[in-house]
Amino acid sequence: MVDQVRRAAILTTLFDDETFTVLSALADLFSRYESIPVRAILSKTGMPERKLLYELDILSKEQACVRSASGYRMTMLGLDALALHQFSSAGLVEKLGPIIAMGKESDVYEAIGGRSSLALKFFRMGRVSFRQVKRKRSYLANEGHRWLIANVRSAAREAAILQKLNGKGFSVPTLRGRRYHAVLMGMELAIPLYKVRELDDPEKVMQKIFDALRRIYIEAGLINGDLSEFNILLTSSHEIILIDWPQAVTTDAANAEELLERDLMNILAYFSKRFGIRQELPKVLKYVKCIEPNL
């Protein structure tokens, strides 16, 4: 079975420029309308009505949009295809590689751009609840519309945070671009920490994680807010990469202390369970906040 992103990649080879013009108009308008009126799409594209309806029919048949009584609704498949098309047109992505990770809120693929190894992340917030709604068939379009907007906003937030963190030597991916709900990142190939079964020096790896969090806390004023062994990557040279930043908060946020403690507890619990390493949370918390100079 072909997954949705690969279906979207196929669509990029089938649609012509005019089809993408209409798809782009839908993407620009869906935050303003739950169902986009034809008149709004006509105004946005400047196409003759007959031509526009022809292109909308193509998009509907390929499930890149859905027709309703009051207009048209963008689908996630259509947004995937548009994002891939724009990355390709900009020369940022030449080829889509294998899937790296599939989670509740995102799918991440390897991608090739020039000689660089890239990670292409598609936000999928609401995927589980949307499936439940689809089975019930009630308020399906409204629910899908809401999650499209949420995914675009999350991608924009992660891109903004990565941009703030890049160029300063932090252990995070390098932002290469964003299109709607998709974020393109440059980073060394690595595996999630939760898949690691053996480490020559687990204490050293744990120290690197705390050092990275300390630098980001002090120098950038940020806390990841959802850190665990599932979004810490380990390279072949045992360097770490901290991923997934859309939920990050500033160190002066009302819940900053609570989120930082939760991040640290997740890491401590993982290293305790997997490698038998014990560290006390208060001591680690003081280290990351630069209250104590050493662990």
Helix-helix angle 4-14:76-89, to 10 degrees = 60
Kindly tell me if the per-residue pLDDT of 172 is higher than 70. yes
Residues 63 and 180 in one domain: yes
Q: Which of 185, 200, 229 is the last residue of a domain?
A: 185
* Domain closes at, from 155, 185, 215: 185
Total tally of structural domains belonging to the chain: 2
- Asked if 228 and 107 sit in the same domain, the reply is no
Containing domain of residue 277, as a range?
A: 190-288
> Looking at residue 34, what is its pLDDT?
85
pTM: 0.89
Beta-carbon contacts of residue 195 (< 8 Å; ≥ 6 apart): none
The letter for the amino acid at 221 is G
Same domain, 208 and 167: no
Q: Say what the pLDDT of residue 102 is.
A: 80
Q: Assess whether 154 and 40 both reside in one domain.
A: yes
199 contact partners, CB below 8 Å, separation of at least 6: 205, 238, 275
Which residue, 121, 153, 185, sits at the end of a domain? 185
Share of the chain above pLDDT 90, in %: 79
145 or 158, which is more confident: 158
pLDDT tens by residue, 18-39: 999 999 999 999 999 989 999 9
Q: What is the pLDDT of residues 194-205, one digit of tens each?
A: 999 899 999 999
Asked whether residue 198 falls in the same domain as residue 155, the answer is no
* Greatest distance between any 2 Cα atoms in the chain: 70
pLDDT in tens, 66-105: 998 899 999 999 999 999 999 999 999 999 999 988 877 8
Residue 137: predicted pLDDT:
37
Q: Tell me what the mean pLDDT of segment 138-147 comes to.
A: 55
Number of H helices, E strands in the chain: 10, 12
Residues 240 and 155 in one domain: no
196 shares its domain with 68: no
Residue given tokens 């619990």 in the structure block: 269
Nearest to 144 by CA among 85, 86, 84, 72: 72
In this prediction, residue 147 carries a pLDDT of 85
The pLDDT of residue 138: 35
Give the pLDDT of residue 128. Answer: 55
* 284 and 236 belong to one structural domain: yes
Q: How confident is the model at residue 127 (pLDDT cuts 50, 70, 90)?
A: low
pLDDT of residue 121 exceeding 50, the answer is yes
- Is residue 293 included in any domain, yes or no? no
Task: Return contacts of 163-167, CB within 8 angstroms, 24+ apart.
Answer: 164/220, 164/222, 165/216, 165/220, 165/222, 165/245
Q: Is residue 246 part of a domain?
A: yes
CA 180-185-188 angle, to 5 degrees, is 160
On whether residue 294 sits in a domain, the answer given is no
* pLDDT at 208 (0 to 100): 97
Lowest mean pLDDT among 66-70, 73-77, 126-130, 254-258: 126-130
User: What is the Cα–Cα distance from 70 to 5, expressed in whole angstroms?
Assistant: 28
Q: For residue 67, give the DSSP letter.
A: E
pLDDT given for residue 131 in this prediction: 45
Residue 228 inside a domain? The answer is: yes
Residue 240: CATH number of its domain = 1.10.510.10
For residues 256 and 121, state if they share a domain.
no
Share of the chain above pLDDT 70, in %: 93
As a whole number of angstroms, the distance between CA 156 and CA 179 comes to 9
Residue 127 belongs to some domain of the structure: yes
At residue 144 the predicted structure's pLDDT band, cuts being 50, 70 and 90, is low
Q: Are residues 38 and 112 in the same domain?
A: yes
Average pLDDT of every residue of the chain: 91
CATH number of the domain where residue 111 is located: 1.10.10.10
Q: For residue range 241-253, what is the model confidence (pLDDT) as tens digits?
A: 999 999 999 999 9
Question: Are residues 159 and 21 part of one domain?
Answer: yes
- Whether 38 maps to a domain, the answer reads yes
Asked whether residue 93 is assigned to any structural domain, the reply reads: yes
Residue 182: exposed, middle, or buried by beta-carbon count in 10 A (0-12, 13-18, 19+)? buried
295 within domain boundaries? no
Does residue 126 surpass a pLDDT of 80? no
Distance, CA of 90 to CA of 108 (rounded, Å): 20
Q: Is the pLDDT assigned to residue 46 strictly greater than 60?
A: yes
Same domain assignment for residues 108 and 203: no
**Cβ contact 189:117 at 8 Å:** yes
Q: How confident is the model at residue 133, as a pLDDT?
A: 38
pLDDT of residue 125: 82
Task: For residue 109, give the amino acid letter.
Answer: Y
Question: Taking CA 99 as the corner, what is the angle to CA 94 and CA 104, rounded to the nearest 5 degrees?
Answer: 125
Distance between CA atoms of residues 56 and 269, nearest Å: 52
DSSP letter assigned to residue 173: P
